[in-house]
């Protein structure tokens, strides 16, 4: 009888933990990352867009900005608090463990950042602190603070996860550097269209957008993709010139074109990382962040 009672208590405890955990993946997720360059700030939008079944598992499709190929898939094992990313590139299927929200202070976790500007194998990080912090809905959620473990030579920055959000860097970069003066930092996150996470030190307002084409303030649509070692720029108005600038401000390309709506260039000569495109056209001048990988 004592064994049955113990089993019941353990089962009930595990059930309670599962119930208390807020999954990272809702029916629809949306993340806004704010990034700044030369004092000017803008944002990228990432979101989940539909589902796909692969090898017996159902995944959410990660979309937005440079993940528009529908080759990046997310799934979650809610009972274990684990989130996986799968990629299908060139017909090759790979799956990575991105997050483990069951970690406790002192645990180590190997950060894998597939297809991001960060090292794909970011090395081991140690969970140094967990804090309960109120989010936009007024409830408390776990914030996980990581530092590189001793001997980690791949990453030199700290990482932050938020329960129900994921990394405060790119959603597929659990070991990413969550700063605005870099790849960017999550400023707003939405679950099923409702604001869940806000950082009003970075933005004044959080409103869901879910756009596949970035609509700029001057109503010029700029669509940038990177694939097969080429970067392509498409514009709703004619482009006259563009410059590719690295994060240190050095101009790497300075190209004039004859009023085209679409142009491209090879990226194999450039290192993986963050760059900026200054695009001039008929009555517009825009700066766009791009990630080459």
Q: Could you tell me the residue ranges of all domains in the chain?
A: 26-198, 214-292
Beta bridge partners of 273: 292
pLDDT at 218: 44
Above pLDDT 70, what percent of the chain? 87
223: left (phi over 0), alpha (psi -120 to 50) or beta: beta
| Residue 161: pLDDT band with limits 50, 70, 90 | very high
SS3 242: strand
* The model's pTM: 0.71
- Taking only the tens place, the pLDDT of each residue in 166-179 is 999 999 999 999 99
Q: Which CATH class is domain 214-292?
A: mainly beta
Name the nearest CA neighbour of 176 among 262, 236, 239, 117: 117
Separation between Cα atoms, residue 201 and residue 160, nearest integer Å: 17
Give the whole-angstrom CA distance, residue 279 versus residue 158: 33
Cβ(63)–Cβ(48) under 8 Å?
yes
């Amino acid at each position: 009888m004592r064994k049955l009672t113990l089993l019941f208590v353990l089962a009930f405890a595990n059930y309670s933990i599962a119930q208390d955990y807020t999954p990272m993946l809702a029916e629809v997720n949306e993340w806004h990352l704010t990034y700044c360059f030369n004092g000017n700030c803008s944002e990228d939008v990432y979101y989940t867009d539909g589902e796909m079944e692969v090898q017996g598992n159902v995944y959410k499709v990660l979309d937005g900005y440079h993940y528009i190929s529908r080759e990046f898939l997310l799934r979650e094992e809610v009972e274990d608090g684990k989130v996986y990313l799968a990629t299908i590139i060139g017909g090759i299927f790979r799956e990575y463990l991105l997050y483990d929200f069951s970690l406790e202070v002192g645990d180590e976790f190997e950060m894998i950042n597939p297809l991001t500007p960060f090292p794909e194998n970011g090395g081991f990080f140690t969970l140094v602190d967990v804090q309960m912090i109120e989010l936009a809905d007024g409830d408390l959620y776990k914030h996980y603070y990581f530092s590189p473990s001793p001997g980690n030579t791949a990453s030199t920055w700290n990482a932050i996860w938020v329960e129900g959000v994921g990394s405060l860097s790119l959603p597929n970069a659990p070991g990413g550097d969550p700063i605005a003066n870099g790849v960017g930092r999550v400023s707003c996150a939405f679950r099923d269209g409702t604001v869940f996470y806000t950082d009003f030190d970075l933005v004044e307002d959080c409103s869901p957008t879910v756009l596949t084409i970035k609509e700029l303030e001057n109503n010029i649509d700029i669509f940038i993709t990177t694939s097969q070692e080429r970067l392509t720029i498409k514009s709703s108005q004619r482009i006259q010139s563009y410059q590719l600038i690295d994060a240190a401000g050095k101009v790497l390309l300075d190209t004039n074109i004859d009023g085209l709506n679409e142009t491209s260039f090879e990226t194999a000569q450039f290192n993986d990382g963050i760059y900026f495109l200054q695009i001039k056209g008929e009555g517009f001048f825009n700066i766009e962040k791009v990630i080459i990988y």
